[in-house]
Amino acid sequence: MKLLHRQQIESILATIDPLAAIETGFVQYSQGKVIVPPVGELLLDKGEMHVKYGYVKGDDFYVIKLASGFYQNHELDLPSSNGVMLLFSQKTGQLVCILLDEGHLTDIRTAIAGAISAKYLAPKRVSAIGIIGTGIQAKLQPQYLKTITDCRHILVWGRNAKKLTIYQQKMQQQGFTVTISDSITELTDKANLIVTTTPSTEPLLKAAYIKPGTHITAVGSDTAYKQELASEILLIADLVVADSISQCLKRGEIYQAITNRQLEITQVLELGNIINDGIGRTHEEQITVADLTGVAIQDIKIAEAIYLAAENNCSMKFKGLNKNYS
Amino acid sequence: MKLLHRQQIESILATIDPLAAIETGFVQYSQGKVIVPPVGELLLDKGEMHVKYGYVKGDDFYVIKLASGFYQNHELDLPSSNGVMLLFSQKTGQLVCILLDEGHLTDIRTAIAGAISAKYLAPKRVSAIGIIGTGIQAKLQPQYLKTITDCRHILVWGRNAKKLTIYQQKMQQQGFTVTISDSITELTDKANLIVTTTPSTEPLLKAAYIKPGTHITAVGSDTAYKQELASEILLIADLVVADSISQCLKRGEIYQAITNRQLEITQVLELGNIINDGIGRTHEEQITVADLTGVAIQDIKIAEAIYLAAENNCSMKFKGLNKNYS
């Protein structure tokens, strides 16, 4: 049994790109090849834990993720989110690997889903990347977009001036030029690849702001009460894509738009089918929306990718060692 | 974060008696102080995994158990059952301890529940311990009964002569005298503390076999289709006790007896209430039955007990070390 700590996982992440594996996962999910039981939930006085698990039929592993949110942890100088993933053999049930990622892999797989959405839906010429929010996803999404677009210009909008300045500095260190937008409309005017990353419960983007030729990836809303996009945006969009249609019936922007009678579920396509068909955006002037609520297949695929890379690293090191002694 | 391997866990088990902790757990469970969400289940081609989790309100930890059964594993010379428990802080969600017990703690907590049942329900004078079956529980139950009764005489019944002989040798090494019964009636005639431990789907014990003054702990049946006791035994019993009434409505001997109209659920008492009241058997001639289907509170309590003992061991060793250098 292999045990990987967060630092080891981060080192491995720097050497691999799990995008292709997660793309394959989305396709398998849309083809009905992925078994994902209902999410387990444990509610506690000071927080909550979710149990997400599943597997791809015929693959080597099944994966369980235990993710927690304890929102008073900052008082103790601890992160509010935490998590651990466990990889088991589909053939024997044996525990193969524990990934003590502290929730980091959930952040990464979410950013990668954003990159996959942009790969199929963003316009070819990205004028600027518009980021709503300054949190973890605001930082990770542009990094994983680097393989999808050459654009290195970020327009960022947020409510907190201090956090915006820190964000600007941090992302400029990552090779971006960063402009702080005074208003959301300034951002929607100049950026045509927009990622919304806030936990807002009131729509931040209105339909009137959105110019033709814009793609929006909505990452922030993953519950039934969060909403970043006015539902009318989904009404005027040429293409609305869900990471999981069944899940988007219960939470996220698509759920909101259906509830507000601006959208019918039959108009929604699933990301895995877009990837499989290889057809997303068909015209530069289209408005497209990807609604990402987070699917267990992403956890399964990234956990597998890290484990396999760790195994490969070990065998490479082992081979190297042998060489020294041969 | 502490990681305990099976060998370490076995060493700790040899130094502690988690019976009192599990007794307290049953009481807390019956008092509604234990939160246990529905069991999660993952079905695979070659096996299955169950996710059991929960916590006692106001305690320090919550516990998740991932237990698997892969019934072709013997072909690969691997055990069919496997498991891991994870202990988290109720205050922060931080992972505190991983117990790589490989399912061993599930076996132990089941044996301890048998001892607790006997403590409150067995007659004072145990003539012989009757064991139906020769598997893991057949071996563990008498060992944990050692603190409950002075009786060291086992009558064992099983279908496989070779396994019976091995069982006899093994248990004699543990300080028991072991007689192999030719028939179940020989066993029920001579033993008045009987533990049934088989996965039988047909009743092995009939009501006519059971003498006054007998206690039966039924451990084998933990599903809706397994049954070791004829339902009429529960009809004639003076006292029928469930580890969890809600669970025994869905599986085990009580479920069978209710389905067969030999018992009403209002006649069933819950083990935690028996412990709390301190009143179980009130007369030597009573017939009593305890139906144990396994409750998550047992997992929670044994995981906590192991972790706390490991912490205590460490600090003791640390103190010892300091002493050497002082």
Query: Which conformational region is residue B314 in: left (phi greater than 0), alpha (psi within -120 to 50 degrees), or beta?
Result: alpha
- Greater pLDDT, A194 or A223: A194
- Strand A239-242 to A288-291 pairing: parallel
How far, in Å, CA of A23 to CA of A26, rounded?
A: 5
Q: Which of A53, A68, A78 sits opposite B51 (nearest CB)?
A: A53
* B contact residues 237-276, partner A, Cβ 8 Å cutoff: none
Cβ contacts of A214 within 8 Å, gap of 6 or more: A123, A188, A191, A192, A193, A194, A287, A288
Q: Is the confidence at residue A174, as pLDDT, over 90?
A: yes
> Does B62 have pLDDT greater than 50?
yes
Beta strands in B73-169 (DSSP E): 81-89, 95-100, 129-132, 153-157
Unique residue bearing structure tokens 């088989």: B198
pLDDT cut 70: percent of chain B above it: 96
Distance, CA of B50 to CA of A255 (rounded, Å): 31
pLDDT band at B315 (very low <50, low <70, confident <90, very high): low
Q: Give the pLDDT of residue A189.
A: 98
Residue A46 identity:
K
Residue pLDDT, tens place only, A49-99: 999 999 999 999 999 999 999 989 999 999 988 999 999 999 999 999 999
The answer to whether B220 faces chain A, any CB pair under 8 Å, is no
Question: How far does A42 lie from chain B, in Å, by closest CA?
Answer: 7
Round to the nearest angstrom and report the end-to-end CA distance of chain B: 29
* C-alpha–C-alpha distance, residues A67 and A120, integer Å: 29
* Range from A27-31, A192-196, B221-225 carrying the lowest mean pLDDT: B221-225
On the question of pLDDT at A150 being above 50, the answer is yes
Give pLDDT, residue A71: 87
Mind listing the pLDDT tens digit for each residue in B190-205?
999 999 999 999 999 9
> Would you call A20 an interface residue with chain B, using a CB distance cutoff of 8 Å?
no
State yes or no: pLDDT of B90 exceeds 70.
Answer: yes
What is the percent of chain A where pLDDT is above 70? 96
Per-residue model confidence (pLDDT) at position A99: 98
pLDDT at B276 over 50: yes
Q: How confident is the model at residue B290 (pLDDT cuts 50, 70, 90)?
A: very high
Rounded-to-integer distance, Cα A125 and Cα A149, Å: 8
Q: What is the pLDDT of residues B230-270, one digit of tens each?
A: 999 999 999 999 999 999 999 899 999 999 999 999 999 99
pLDDT reported for residue B224 = 84
Give pLDDT, residue A188: 98
Q: What is the C-alpha to C-alpha distance for residues B115 and A156, in angstroms, rounded to an integer?
A: 64
| B178 has a pLDDT exceeding 70 | yes
Query: d(Cα B143, Cα B316) in Å, to the nearest integer?
Result: 28
Kindly indicate the confidence band of residue B71, based on its pLDDT and cuts at 50, 70 and 90: confident
Mean pLDDT, to the nearest integer, of A16-45?
Answer: 96
**Cα–Cα distance for residue pair A116/A114, rounded to 1 Å:** 5
| pLDDT of residue B313 exceeding 90 | no
Average pLDDT, chain B: 94
Q: What share of chain B is helix, strand, coil (3-state, %, to 5)?
A: 40, 25, 35
d(CA B16, CA B305): 8
Q: Is pLDDT of B322 > 50? A: no
Query: Domains of chain B by range and CATH?
Result: 2-105+297-309 (3.30.1780.10), 117-295 (3.40.50.720)
CB B56 within 8 A of CB B68: no
Q: Do B70 and A53 touch (CB under 8 A)?
A: no
Cβ atoms of B255 and B275 within 8 Å: the answer is no
Residue A314 pLDDT? 67
Of B1, B53, B76, Cβ closest to residue A42? B53
- Residue A316, chain B, CB below 8 Å: the answer is no
Question: φ and ψ at A2, to 5 degrees?
Answer: -100, 140
pLDDT of B324 higher than 50: no
Cα–Cα nearest to A104, from A137, A78, A75: A137
Q: What is the pLDDT of residue A315?
A: 61
Instruction: Report the relative pairing of strands A48-56 and B153-157 from DSSP bridges.
Output: unpaired
Confidence band, pLDDT 50/70/90 cuts, at residue A223: confident
Put simply, the answer to whether A68 touches B88 (Cβ < 8 Å) is: yes
Query: Which uninterrupted H or E stretch holds B138?
Result: helix B136-145
CB B197, CB B137: distance < 8 Å: yes
The mean per-residue pLDDT over the stretch A260-268 comes to: 95
Q: How far is B277 from chain A (nearest CA, A)?
A: 29
Cα A104 from Cα A82, distance rounded (Å): 8
Helix (H, G, I), strand (E, B) or coil at B177: strand
The answer to whether the CB atoms of B91 and A70 lie below 8 A apart is yes
pLDDT tens digits along B25-46: 999 999 999 999 989 999 999 9
Is pLDDT above 60 for B318?
no
B321 has a pLDDT exceeding 50 = no
Q: Within an 8 Å CB–CB cutoff, is residue B161 touching chain A?
A: no
The answer on pLDDT for B163 being more than 60 is yes
Summarize pLDDT for A285-308 with one digit per residue, the tens: 999 999 999 999 999 999 999 999
d(CA A31, CA A23): 13
- The DSSP symbol for B198 reads -
**Residues of chain A contacting B94 with CB distance shorter than 8 Å:** 78, 82
pLDDT tens digits, residue range A9-26? 999 999 999 999 999 999
User: In A, which residues are within 8 Å of B67 by CB distance?
Assistant: none
How does pLDDT run across A98-126, given as a tens digit for each residue? 999 999 999 999 999 999 999 999 999 99
